[in-house]
Amino acid sequence: MSQQKLEKICDRVKQGEKYDALARDIDGLLIRTQRSPENIDRLTAAISDSDTARIWQSLWDDSPQQRWDIASTGGAGNLIPIFGYLWLKVAAEQAKLGDRYAKVVPKIATEETDSGLMDILASGGFAFPFDATAIQRECLQYGGVICQPDSAIAPIERALMQRCRETNLTADFSVTYASILSRQIATRCTHAIVDVKLGRETKMLSPWMFSPQNELNEVKVDDFLTACQNIGDGNERSLVITDEKYLQAFVAVLQRLGVAAKADGDWVTQDCQANSTELYPLQEVRWLLVNGNLPQGRAIGRQLTLLHMDELIAGDRDLLLMCEGDNEYKRLYRQVLPQICGCQLENTDATWQDLQEQWQILKSRLPKLNDFSAKKYLEFSAKNHLDRQDSGLARSYSDPPELEKSHSLQPDLEAISFGFYPYHWQVSECPAKIKTASLPFLAELFTWLCGSDPFDSEVGIWLHKLPGEEVQPPSDERAAEQRYLEICQIWQQPFLSIFYRPSRCKRSQVAAKARQFISNIELEAIAGIN
């Protein structure tokens, strides 16, 4: 498509022409983008333009500060946008020159049906600045802010993505690339980090994008798509994809678009000014490849995600990121993310304290956090009540609820927990580790729980145990963190809790879906324990 035709379509969108009249021309634009992917930077620059974007341009283009943001291709239970923002704030404080910030973080929040950053924070009562001047003021004064720019900042990108959803073209590298980076350009970012989820449901790559015979650096696209299925060290599934051959394959895909990129440690770095100035003011993009088949944390759901973040960073019960040994979650959130965000990690304990301080600042803007209905349920779930004199089953709210028994939190909100069944322990009655768990299944379950209200903030899923974590076998007598499963007359640790609305989902349906998920979980005996 000629530059003149591209500009004409963009002008029609900016002038407010009705979407229906533009649909066919947008289709033509998408088709030509796929046929000539080497022009992707030109398209990215074109769809970043708007009157609102020009206001941002006038405010920032003469500013000496680096502007950083972290974006994501999305996914259920995604913690990277929040963790990434906090680590970028730590890096901004470390790079501070006297009382002035050399690096600032205008973090864009997006709304998504599988829990985007905007709706997660909104569930906690966060008030987003949206005026460009107010956002700049907060960045210069505090080093960064999570913001919701005026909806008019990217009207062309919004129309393009709406048409992609209607025509099932969202899983396309060129379109996703243009969509993400156009927003970074519109908000005048100089540096961007993009979390790319790869796996069964990825928005960046699809097998049909290339011919079956096409190989990228001797790695077929089909193989690349299943890269995150590979077993990592210690027989655990890898959460961060850092294998050199897959990083090089991703580099090859970028190079096919005419993009200058290279494998750079645990991620891929793109030099935005190497071949042209189309992406100005973007100087660098860092692409982080993450396994989208694995749960990103314990929580899927808006309020649950905030509770999970609070416990991971400020709590004293969940030691997932504080344990002495290594695990995939600790590696991602305490090692790889701070590095890609540019943090200095000479003293990891002190740097973690810096992150805790940034979380407390963000938490102070979440007035509803302590009032979440799920908070007390999860707190009691984590407590050990062995010091109580139990008579029969634990039926009061002062004790952890029984497994597979619903507990009412509100008139139309209930929680129910599930554990493993005896057949999971047929090989060994020793402690075991969870091998893997399917995030796509949980994402579908979350969508079902939301039903007709895709932005329901209270429903969700909580994983008491994650891949790589230890699970104790059931016992006839009550032990730490265990609950009673009446149907099997055993005590065992909970694995999964579901928060649902009885008016929308029957308890029997919730139980059936939970059992279907649990039946596919594999346990493996811990080596050296008999």
Q: Are residues 401 and 507 in the same domain?
A: yes
Does 232 score more than 60 pLDDT?
no
- Average pLDDT rounded to a whole number, residues 415-431: 79
For residue 395, being part of any structural domain is answered with yes
More confident residue, 393 or 141: 141
Whole-angstrom distance, CA of residue 63 vs CA of residue 414: 51
Helix (H, G, I), strand (E, B) or coil at 364: coil
Does 518 score more than 90 pLDDT?
yes
For position 224, what pLDDT does the model report?
A: 63
Neighbouring-strand partners of residue 527: none
Whole-angstrom distance, CA of residue 326 vs CA of residue 315: 19
Which of 46-60, 213-227, 288-302, 484-498 has the weakest average pLDDT? Answer: 213-227
Domain membership of residue 471 as a residue range? 374-525
Domains in the chain, number: 2
For position 153, what pLDDT does the model report?
A: 81
Domain boundary among 303, 337, 365: 365
Does 369 score more than 90 pLDDT?
yes
Q: Can you tell me which residue has the tokens 């597979």?
A: 404
Task: Report cis status (omega within 30 of 0) of the bond before 281.
Answer: yes
Does 288 score more than 60 pLDDT?
yes
For position 213, what pLDDT does the model report?
A: 46
What string of DSSP letters covers 28-85?
A: HHHHHHHH-GGGHHHHHHHHT--HHHHHHHHHHTT--SEEEEEEE---TT--HHHHHH
Does 401 score more than 80 pLDDT?
no
For position 111, what pLDDT does the model report?
A: 73
For position 347, what pLDDT does the model report?
A: 74
If pLDDT is split at 50, 70 and 90, which confidence band does 424 have? confident
More confident residue, 125 or 224: 125
Question: 405: domain CATH number?
Answer: 3.90.1170.30
Q: Are residues 295 and 384 in the same domain?
A: no
Whole-angstrom distance, CA of residue 300 vs CA of residue 444: 11
Q: Are residues 158 and 291 in the same domain?
A: yes
For position 37, what pLDDT does the model report?
A: 64
Does 218 score more than 60 pLDDT?
no
In order of 47, 58, 156, 158, the CA distances from 51 in angstroms are: 12, 11, 12, 15
For position 219, what pLDDT does the model report?
A: 56
Neighbouring-strand partners of residue 407: 415
For residue 36, being part of any structural domain is answered with no
Residue 269: enclosing H or E segment and its boundaries? strand 267-271
Q: 188: left (phi > 0), else alpha (psi -120 to 50), else beta?
A: left
What are the tens digits of pLDDT across the range 87-140? 999 999 999 999 999 999 999 888 776 778 999 999 999 999 989 999 999 999
For residue 3, being part of any structural domain is answered with no
Structure tokens at 484: 């009673």
If pLDDT is split at 50, 70 and 90, which confidence band does 319 have? confident
Q: Which of 491, 352, 380, 513 is nearest to 443 (CA)?
A: 513
Does 226 score more than 70 pLDDT?
no
Domain boundary among 343, 365, 387: 365
Structure tokens at 83: 């963790």
Among the ranges 201-210, 349-358, 380-389, which has the highest mean pLDDT value?
349-358
Q: Are residues 222 and 267 in the same domain?
A: yes
For residue 34, being part of any structural domain is answered with no
Q: Are residues 211 and 337 in the same domain?
A: yes
For position 210, what pLDDT does the model report?
A: 52
Q: Are residues 394 and 339 in the same domain?
A: no
In order of 194, 355, 509, the CA distances from 309 in angstroms are: 20, 12, 29
For position 176, what pLDDT does the model report?
A: 87
If pLDDT is split at 50, 70 and 90, which confidence band does 36 have? low
If pLDDT is split at 50, 70 and 90, which confidence band does 477 have? confident
- Average pLDDT rounded to a whole number, residues 182-207: 85
Q: Are residues 213 and 125 in the same domain?
A: yes
Which of 13-27, 94-108, 447-461 has the weakest average pLDDT? Answer: 13-27
Q: Are residues 356 and 380 in the same domain?
A: no
Mean pLDDT of the chain: 83
For residue 397, being part of any structural domain is answered with yes
Q: Can you tell me which residue has the tokens 């379509």?
A: 9
Neighbouring-strand partners of residue 284: 191, 271
For residue 211, being part of any structural domain is answered with yes
Can you point out the beta strands (E) in 154-236?
Answer: 191-198, 215-216, 219-220
Percent of all residues in the chain with a pLDDT value above 90, rounded to a whole number = 45
Whole-angstrom distance, CA of residue 229 vs CA of residue 143: 38
Sheet holding 407-410, edge to edge: 299-300, 460-463, 494-500, 413-419, 407-410
Q: Which of 288, 263, 77, 321 is nearest to 193 (CA)?
A: 288
If pLDDT is split at 50, 70 and 90, which confidence band does 233 have? very low
| C-alpha dihedral (224, 443, 419, 468), degrees to nearest 10 | 30
Q: Are residues 286 and 143 in the same domain?
A: yes
For position 334, what pLDDT does the model report?
A: 93
For position 231, what pLDDT does the model report?
A: 37
Print burial letters for 380-417: b (CB count within 10 Å at least 16), e (below 16): ebeeebeeeeeeeebeeeebbbbbbbbbebeeebbbbb
Q: Read off the pTM.
A: 0.89
Q: Are residues 98 and 174 in the same domain?
A: yes
- Average pLDDT rounded to a whole number, residues 249-264: 88
- Average pLDDT rounded to a whole number, residues 432-439: 88
**For residue 482, what are the contacts with CB-CB under 8 A and spacing of at least 6?**
472, 474, 475, 491, 492, 493
For residue 340, being part of any structural domain is answered with yes
- Average pLDDT rounded to a whole number, residues 479-487: 75
For position 310, what pLDDT does the model report?
A: 95
Domain boundary among 365, 383, 401: 365
What are the tens digits of pLDDT across the range 327-353? 899 999 999 999 999 998 887 777 999
In order of 129, 302, 307, 394, 443, the CA distances from 124 in angstroms are: 15, 9, 10, 32, 21
Q: Are residues 354 and 262 in the same domain?
A: yes
Q: Are residues 360 and 388 in the same domain?
A: no
Helix (H, G, I), strand (E, B) or coil at 388: coil
Question: 253: domain CATH number?
Answer: 3.40.1030.10
More confident residue, 394 or 504: 504
Structure tokens at 329: 């979650």
In order of 92, 165, 319, 341, 481, the CA distances from 336 in angstroms are: 17, 32, 18, 9, 31
For residue 386, being part of any structural domain is answered with yes
Q: Would you say 50 and 152 are in contact if contact means Cβ atoms under 8 Å apart? A: yes
